[in-house]
């Protein structure tokens, strides 16, 4: 089962939600921009590949389960699941930098049945690996939010996005894992930016910062918050969609993980 943090996480070999002690604040990043993550400082991140080519990020939620976005695998028919692999303990996408990386084949992909590729409604999926992964310092699961999380619990709080997406809109993909701090906002505020364009559903959440955002290639990866200094990092969102990258009039949109806890639990049993 995935780990849901309410007070102290309990885990036999490794606590969930391992991450850096702190990340750069938004104010610091306005000077230096997004930064390369410290190698293996986010042991819950994974890279999803098809035929050896990177397609999306994802996160480890149990020994054989990966959480990602449905649109990452929406165009992949079931007969091609055998072409999917997940790399864990990974920092660089370069073939020459594979020391310590574990590669697992995907046995099954489960997209939300009501996923809509036009509106990104229910943009969530779980991948089942062919075998369990052993937890260690470089590979351990993310923490998922508790069931009593309310919709705007983290509004106006800092959150961290991690991934290998392009560094600027229309630019080149990063070869190494990047991290950037953004600020969460209420859905009402987010909808005001997208008024007349797109619907921000209750199971979505938004975040932004001047010149900071997720971008192409970050899809499926985690949006994480650290409720208090030194506490485990909690995956509150999944990178889903947006208009462009880091455009001031269009915040990034994420799937709200807390809205899908029952769906995740059901699909953890399969």
Task: Assess whether 123 carries a catalytic annotation.
Answer: yes
**Which residue in the list 123, 158, 213, 218 is annotated as catalytic?**
123
Phi, psi of 134 (to 5 degrees): -85, 130
Q: Give the whole-angstrom CA distance, residue 76 versus residue 81.
A: 7
**Which residue in the list 92, 214, 219, 240 is annotated as catalytic?**
219
Task: Assess whether 219 carries a catalytic annotation.
Answer: yes
Cα 113 off chain centre by: 20
Which H helix or E strand runs over 29? Answer: helix 26-32
Task: Assess whether 198 carries a catalytic annotation.
Answer: no
CA distances to 17, 41, 73, 87 from 21, rounded to whole Å, are 11, 9, 33, 24
CA distances to 112, 116, 257 from 142, rounded to whole Å, are 20, 26, 12
**Which residue in the list 59, 71, 140, 240 is annotated as catalytic?**
71
Sequence-separated (6 or more) residues with CB below 8 Å from residue 262: none
Cβ 57 vs Cβ 221: under 8 Å: yes
In which residue are the tokens 């309990």 written?
A: 10
Active site (catalytic) residues: 71, 123, 219
């Amino acid at each position: 089962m995935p780990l849901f943090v309410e007070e102290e996480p309990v885990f036999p070999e490794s606590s969930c939600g391992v991450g850096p002690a702190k990340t750069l604040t938004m104010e610091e990043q306005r000077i230096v921009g997004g930064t390369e993550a410290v190698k293996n400082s986010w042991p819950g991140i994974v890279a999803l590949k098809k035929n050896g080519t990177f397609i999306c990020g994802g996160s480890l939620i149990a020994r054989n389960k990966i959480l990602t976005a449905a649109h990452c695998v929406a165009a992949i028919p079931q007969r091609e699941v055998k072409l999917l692999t997940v790399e864990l303990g990974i920092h660089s996408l370069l073939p020459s930098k594979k020391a310590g990386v574990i590669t697992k084949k995907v046995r099954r992909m489960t997209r939300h049945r009501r996923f809509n590729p036009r509106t990104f409604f229910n943009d969530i999926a779980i991948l089942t690996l062919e075998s369990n992964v052993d937890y260690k310092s470089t590979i351990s699961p993310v923490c998922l939010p508790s069931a009593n999380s309310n919709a705007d619990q983290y509004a106006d709080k800092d959150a961290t996005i991690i991934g290998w997406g392009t560094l600027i809109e229309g630019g080149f993909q990063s070869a190494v894992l990047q991290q950037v701090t953004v600020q969460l906002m209420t859905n009402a505020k987010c909808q005001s930016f997208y008024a007349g364009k797109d619907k921000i559903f209750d199971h979505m959440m938004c975040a932004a910062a001047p010149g900071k955002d997720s971008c192409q290639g970050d899809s499926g990866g985690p949006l994480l918050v650290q409720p208090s200094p030194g506490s485990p990092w909690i995956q509150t969102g999944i990178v889903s969609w947006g208009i462009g990258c880091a455009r001031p009039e269009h915040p990034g949109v994420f799937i709200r993980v807390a809205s899908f806890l029952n769906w995740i639990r059901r699909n953890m049993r399969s």
